[in-house]
Structure 1
Amino acid sequence: MKLLVLGGTGRCGKHVVQRALAATHQVTVFVRNPSKLPSEVASKVKIIQGTLTDEKALSTAVQGQDAIISTLGPSGPGYKSFSTYNGFFPNFYKLLLRVMREQKVLRILAITTTNVQDAKDQRSLTLSAIGSIAWLYGRVAWREFNEIGETFKTEGHSLDWTVFRVGIITDGKEGTVLDGYIGDQGSSVVISREGMAAWLVRQVETSPPQWVRQMPYISSV
């Protein structure tokens, strides 16, 4: 399978790349700075260099792929509480979804957080508290993640998208990953990076695809 990973130099994306390579998939990574890729990984993947606003480079990366996994999202000091919202990531996804349609690539899985709600969710006091803290200390990132979910709903027509929602991300072991909705019996508030990567690779391997145009919540159990 030809797989494009967005965010492949990040803490979650690195695990996705490693997991996909272990499963013998042909992996392409779209990165701004290729030097961030470990040499042992760089030699095994196809590297397309570009920024998230570079439509030409992005189109080159998307062309010919069977599926896309994105762990991109707002983080870091640029998204402190009182920075100005500019819709950077929602705008990127609008561009990406259009490029996917042009290149006839249908499948994508993209990350967001639990502040994006679904009608099938049940109430979770713990996750509600975490969301309130996230809004208080990172309200611009909170809004970006929320708008990512809305962007897929409005711009993702004709594509097999899945926006997966996560709570607290940890460096724990892979374990078992439960997918469903917030408040489901057996779910937790955490997801390990290894578990997330394993779940994502399984999803792109699954045919017919699951969770199409849905927003499952995934957690380690």
Structure 2
Amino acid sequence: MKLLVFGATGGTGARLLTQALDAGHAVTVVARDPGAIVLPDRARSDVIQGDVLEPHTWSGAMSGHDAVLSCLGTRDRKHPTTVYSQGTANIIDAMNLAGVRRLVCLSSAGLEIPPGTPLGQRLVTRYVIQRLYRYGYADMAVMERIVRASDLDWTIIRPPMLTDSPSTGKTTSISRAELARHMLEHLEDRKTWQQIV
């Protein structure tokens, strides 16, 4: 498949890029700093210098791709952000113009506390995690509404806590490598289309 990837300089995005290339996909990466993208020799990839919040820097490259994978994120926990919401809205606009249908984007399991969550975990999520990441979560919630309102073949993935270990085997955390693998393995899984996973 021909994939367009946002957020490839982050922990999950970097693993996604490597796995996608290893699987034989042709990948186009949009990055503010192309020098931060590490590619194997003769990789089937292109790197475009662009900012998701400035679609004129990359929207012309959207045409011809089979799917868009977004690992957008921010390391700034102290200030409000629009990188998730406005960034994803820009992606959706460009997809609609180019006729690209498949979108997979990352959110967070911390947005909601599922019924049956143990009391300790519920308290930590509500009074620690949701407060610590309040700006990011607020913007993710807006992003999810924007994605769900589109008629694309979208999937929103809400992973739990991310780790750098090869595999966690736990339900309260997932490795970034496992998350990247899940994104790729379910690209053509219609059961995940227009679903929050």
Q: After TM superposition, is the score higher than 0.5? A: yes
1:151 Cα deviation after fit: 1.8
Distance 1:196 1:86, change over 3 A: closer
RMSD: 2.2
- Cα distance in 1 for partners of 2:22, 2:138 equals 35
Structure-2 residue corresponding to 1:48? 48
Once the 2 structures are TM-superposed, how far is the Cα of residue 42 of structure 1 from its aligned partner? Answer: 8.4
Partner of 1:171: 164
**Which residue pairs with 1:8 in the alignment?**
8
Separation of aligned partners in 2, 1:41 and 1:128:
48
Find out whether 1:212 has 2:196 as its counterpart: no
The equivalent residue for 1:59 is 59
Please, which moves more after superposition, 86-95 or 11-20?
86-95
Q: Is the 8 A contact 2:89 2:143 kept in 1?
A: no
> Offset at 1:53?
2.1
- How many equivalent pairs are there? 195
**After the TM superposition, which residues 69-218 of structure 1 pair with which residues of structure 2 at under 5 Å, given as runs?**
69-74=69-74, 76=75, 78-80=76-78, 83=79, 85-117=80-112, 121-125=114-118, 126=121, 129-154=124-149, 156=150, 158-174=151-167, 188-204=171-187, 206=188, 209-216=190-197
Q: What is the CA–CA distance in structure 2 between the aligned matches of 1:4 and 1:172, rounded to whole Å? A: 26
For structure 1, list consecutive stretches of 5 or more residues without a partner in the other structure. Answer: 177-186, 217-221
Give CA-to-partner distance per residue, 1:177-199, whole Å, 9 cap, x none.
xxxxxxxxxx7110111111111
Contact 1:127 / 1:167 at 8 angstroms: preserved in 2?
Answer: no
Tell me by how many angstroms 1:130 deviates.
Answer: 2.7
Contact 2:165–2:175 (8 Å) recurs in 1: yes
Q: Distance in 2 between matches of 1:98 and 1:39?
A: 28
Give 1:135 deviation, angstroms. 2.4
Q: 1:6-62: per-residue Cα shift (whole Å, max 9, x none)?
A: 111111101001111111000110011011012536854211111112222331232
CA contact (8 A) 1:127 1:189 kept: no
Is the 1:174–1:198 contact (alpha carbons within 8 Å) kept by the matching residues of 2?
Answer: no
SS of residue in 1 equivalent to 2:58: helix
- SS of residue matched to 1:73: coil
Change (3 A) 1:132 1:145: farther
Point out the more displaced range, 14-23 or 91-100: 91-100
In structure 2, what residue type is equivalent to 1:212?
Answer: W
CA distance in 1, matches of 2:54, 2:85: 15
Which letter maps to 1:167?
P
Distance 2:23 2:39 in 1: 19
When normalised by structure 1's length, the TM-score is 0.79
Structure 2 unmatched runs, 5+: none
The DSSP-based 3-state class of the residue aligned with 1:150 is helix
Distance in 2, matches of 1:153 and 1:6, equals 19
CA distance in 1, matches of 2:126, 2:104: 22
Q: TM-score, normalised by structure 2?
A: 0.88
C-alpha change, 1:127 and 1:24, in structure 2 (3 Å) is farther
